[in-house]
Structure 1
């Protein structure tokens, strides 16, 4: 998946600088209104900077014959941004090449549309912001010593859902605690409790197993001492309802578990815990160029 993101990200650098008028496409895969997480983007930017106050430091060594510094400087290059969403509140940071200074952003979003303010110079960033893209334009506030007009276009290369990530971390910790019992050796009767604990992460929380309530455990098989057998037990769910479970074993290897929550369906559990992807240094991990803070 990341190789696909990388291909898309690098391809966008080959796109000619966008025109001054930005057309923001409709989002097909927007973020939920209550999304709590972050999206990292990679793409390009182009535009111009004009110093309106004499003595304002210039971004490049370009000489301007006007003493008042009214000559526009063209800027453009690669662009990296990270936006963190907390419902409609958006905070972010960005950096780029070709005359773009790194800074941070803060503002709000309505659906897939963001209106953000640069914390360094107050310039207004507006456009589309969702898991697929961050596309829009930047304009300075009136009377700013530097007047900026630029457009940017990026694709989302990584999305981190903080809630889902925390759920995945909890599941990994459960595998560490219970996996050796669930997928190990030994009589199934002594493992049903651990199996129910791990299975709870895959069902509605209210219907999950309430720890310590397992009772009336018995081994069941068509033939006495058969290596293919099931272990039946009754328990109480977290919502207070009574329930039953039946785990299937073959030669003491756990196969699947059926419960009264899903009667007739024997759920298998992957013996491998989910992979937790890194949340930081995504650009480095993708092999994308890292922009120095002073660029």
Structure 2
């Protein structure tokens, strides 16, 4: 039984891997994805600022339209962390080394939503980050300034996904583990009361958690009936057999039997097995948030590590 339980658990754990092998990952995020993705890449472009109109200072000679001066080429590395909650997106960016220029990217927050084409995210001053790709693999697009702001940017950015945390999936597995444990405890309490049929039904479902991680679906378990036979009379002090059928996950039908003595379930027998007592359920430890190694933090880590020790 232990061996069959381990096989069932391995089958459950390997199912997503098998499905992934059959269906290539296109890098897209599910529409209801909840989690974070950290990106790293670079940006490059030009910025201009308005000339000073303060009368205390000599007017600037501006060769650009609308009195825009100080056109500068900017560029460098950038780290972006986006948090997805369905279509809603929040996040932040931090420039990482490189030639940022006086008017290049520094750091800021982003708020917006996913679109059919990618993402549209805004900074507090109205600057738009229009991304043509906004998924697991990459976050790339253009930074466009809103009209009227002193600083105008025409910058393109391109980053690749470096770390992903699917908090929605983790939360669902934790909730499933809690529901599973609650169901198991409830079934244990049902073993001591009710009719023999009700006790047997609880015993079958409880023991199924030692064979299948999620147990058998109680809606797919038939009503238990007494096994017919001359020497199978329901009398105190004498054992009698009981049985039920259930639908397997693959669509087949299975049968399970048990022995009742004085109204209590003595053992449970699955196909091809001996009639045995109820086994402990397969252990399940829900996942926890793993170490992101600084990717999701508001720092340049892990890109910018400690400075190397000076040579002796």
TM-score, normalised by the number of residues in structure 1: 0.53
Give distance in 1, aligned partners of 2:78 and 2:218.
48
Check conservation: 1:45, 1:150, Cα contact below 8 A. Answer: yes
SS in 1 for 2:69: coil
Aligned residue in 2 for 1:288: 302
Structure 1 residues 42 and 172: alpha-carbon distance in aligned structure 2, compared to 1, 3 A threshold: farther
Q: TM-score, normalised by structure 2?
A: 0.51
Aligned to 1:129: 134
Residue 136 (structure 1) shift: 0.8
Name structure 2 gaps, 5 residues minimum.
1-24, 55-59, 185-199, 226-241, 248-253, 257-269, 306-312
Matches of 1:93 and 1:235, distance apart in 2: 56
2:171 aligns with 166
Instruction: Tell me by how many angstroms 1:280 deviates.
Output: 6.0
Q: Is the 8 A contact 1:122 1:140 kept in 2?
A: yes
Cα separation, partners in 2 of 1:287 and 1:176, compared to 1, 3 Å = farther
- C-alpha distance in 2 between matches for 1:84 and 1:144: 27
- Cα displacement (A) at 1:31: 1.7
* Distance in 2 of aligned mates of 1:236 and 1:103: 57
Separation of aligned partners in 2, 1:95 and 1:35:
24
Are residue 48 (structure 1) and residue 46 (structure 2) matched?
A: yes
Q: How many pairs are equivalent? A: 218
1:208 to 204, 217, 222: 217
> Which protein has the larger Cα radius of gyration, Structure 1 or Structure 2?
2
C-alpha deviation, 1:140, in angstroms: 0.7
- In structure 2, the partner of 1:16 is none
**RMSD over aligned Cα atoms:** 5.1
Q: Which residue of 2 aligns with 1:31?
A: 29
| Deviation of the 1:236 alpha carbon | 9.5
Q: What is aligned with 1:9? A: none
